[in-house]
Structure 1
Amino acid sequence: MKGERRVVTASLKRLPEADRPRERLLRLGPEKLSDVELLAILLGTGAKGRSAIEVARDLLHHCEAKDPGGGLRALLHLREAERSELVKGLGPAKVCTILAGLHLGLRASAAPLRRVELSNPRAVFEFLAPRLAHLSQEQFHVILLNAKNQVIDVECVSEGTLTASLVHPREVFRTAIRRSAHAVILAHNHPSGDPTPSREDREVTRRLVQAGRVIGIEVLDHLG
């Protein structure tokens, strides 16, 4: 174990100080670092004679093989057996640090901001993408807006295949009424990757638009 640690330390020390991930982050900011460098910082040290950079690179290659183009997103959907295999290779502390870091970033990017104004479809997409892109199961979300189209809150009202029985107007508008929302935007994801609206999608939208008119809360859009 001590021999392995000396090899790892020596490997990192061969890098010029200005090129080491932590030093680069402090000097340039995290947005300038690659995924490999950021992951190496989370890892802290290497494993089994490999530096943190090498371990991070191998882990990213594994993610790319599992979910081409998805990057670290593959780690968000590990099955229990896959997580156990990762622990065997890296140890529980490193795996916990990586998963905690990923989920903290996910929650931070998805947290609703009170003064975000959603005045056009692109703004809505950019607001929702961090919240919906990683999901492996279909979810239906409602964005509550004030009179200036600023976000009051976001609520997930159902999980599973979108049907009229699952997405009932009562569930969709309950929080909107309680929070005095002026309007709502509806959104659901397509884990299959096909965004083409189904007959059920159109029927759900029609029912909710009608219900909104009755209670005086306009449905501005339905993204899906």
Structure 2
Amino acid sequence: MADQGKEVASQGPRALPHHAGHRERLRHRARMAGLHHLPDYELLELFLFRSQPQGDVKPIAKALLTRFGSLAAVLAASVEDLVTVRTEDTRGRTKAVGAETALDLVALHEVAQRVAKEPAARRPVISSWTALLAYVRVALQHEPREQFRVLYLDNRNQLILDEVQNRGTVDHAPVYPREVVRRGLEVSAKAMILVHNHPSGDPTPSRADIEMTKQIVQAAQALGVEVHDHLIVGREGVSSLKQLGLM
């Protein structure tokens, strides 16, 4: 027993993990220098501290950015895609994003969308072009699958409803012109703005985009509803079919 005691004593205090104190140091740096000075992975770490209250989250933050390519793309990812992200710590133990962390990240994206939407909803959409572009880019710029949505407007061009009409694959979302117009009549819309994304990143309109727009414009005009524009969102920017003279 005495020999055992000597052996334990000789081992000294247990070594602290390499990340001990990192959370407080990062929080202190954020308070002193400001959040805007933090790189994306550290900003993401700060958020992950709340979802994962123990352990080193830096590897997870970096793995998320590596997998999706940017902070905006991380927040735009689905729960199903987020939970597939895994990494290993220095001891070779696997760490995963987990369902709760994934839901928190998706919730943060929803908050960002609603904040971006507020200025567009408070003022006439047409006279708030900058706010409108900011909103559609937050909503769709990093969406991994094609999504078609419609902004329905009243007679003062204020937003009545932003509705996702269809979600599709990486390069196609089916659109039914009569359904788009029918929904407009249901919500008493006087005008609409069509919006969809190109997951490839290039917002250049395709022939199918142009033809589909013409069909919706014709169907809407027959019922007294105006189509103001069709915006195509990509990582490289936003294209306006009206500005391009394609509608």
Short-chain TM bin = 0.7 to 0.9
TM-score, structure 1 as length reference: 0.73
Moved more, 151-160 or 79-88: 79-88
Q: Confirm whether residue 106 of structure 1 aligns to residue 106 of structure 2.
A: no
Q: Secondary structure at the match of 2:230?
A: strand
Gaps of 5+ in 1: none
Matched, 1:182 2:185: no
Residues 217, 226 of structure 2: 8 Å contact kept = yes
User: Counterparts of 1:205 and 1:37 in 2: how far apart (Å)?
Assistant: 40
Instruction: Work out whether 1:40 is the aligned partner of 2:41.
Output: no
Deviation at residue 63 of structure 1 after TM alignment:
3.2
Change (3 A) 1:201 1:34: same
Paired residue for 1:206?
Answer: 214
User: In the alignment, what sits opposite 1:151?
Assistant: 159
Q: 1:89 aligns with which of 94, 98, 104?
A: 94
Shift of 1:116: 4.3
The structure with the largest helix share of the pair is 1
Q: Give the fraction of aligned pairs with identical amino acids, expressed as a percent.
A: 29
Structure showing greater radius of gyration is: 2
User: In structure 1, how many angstroms separate the alpha carbons of the residues matched to 2:178 and 2:212?
Assistant: 13
> Which residue in 2 is equivalent to 1:172?
180
Alpha-carbon distance in structure 1 between the residues aligned to 2:178 and 2:149: 14
Q: Verify the 8 A CA contact 2:148 2:164 in the aligned structure 1.
A: yes
Deviations 1:9-36 (A, max 9, x none): 84248739843x5xx2xx8886675541
Which letter does structure 1 place at the counterpart of 2:102? L
**For the structure 1 residues 30 and 177, does the alpha-carbon distance in structure 2 shift closer, same or farther, using more than 3 Å as the test?**
farther
Q: Where in structure 1 do 4 or more consecutive aligned residues deviate above 4 Å?
A: 27-34, 77-82
Distance in 1 (CA, whole Å) between partners of 2:82 and 2:162 is 33
- Deviation per CA, 1:153-196: give whole Å up to 9, x if none: 11111222557xx3222211222111111210001100011211
Contact 2:63 2:86 (C-alpha < 8 Å) held by counterparts: no
**Secondary structure, aligned partner of 1:215:** coil
2-structure distance, mates of 1:13, 1:215: 59
Greater alpha carbon shift after TM alignment, 130-139 vs 114-123: 114-123
Distance 1:170 1:150 in 2: 23
- Residues 31 and 15 of structure 1, relative CA distance in 2, 3 Å threshold: closer
Letter matched to residue 21 of structure 2: S
Preserved contact between residue 86 and residue 95 of structure 1 (Cα < 8 Å): no
Mapped to 2, the partners of 1:153 and 1:10 lie a distance apart of 48
Q: CA 1:16–1:59 in 2, change beyond 3 Å: closer, same or farther?
A: closer
Residue-pair matches, total: 204
Say yes or no: does 1:73 pair with 2:89.
no
Where 2:124 maps in the other structure, the secondary structure is coil
Write 1 or 2 for the structure with the bigger share of strand.
2
1:117 equivalenced with 2:124 (yes/no)? yes
CA distance in 1, matches of 2:209, 2:184: 21
TM-score normalised per structure 2: 0.67
Q: 5+ unaligned residues in a row in structure 2: which ranges? A: 1-13, 233-247
Contact 2:48 2:101 in 1 (8 A): yes
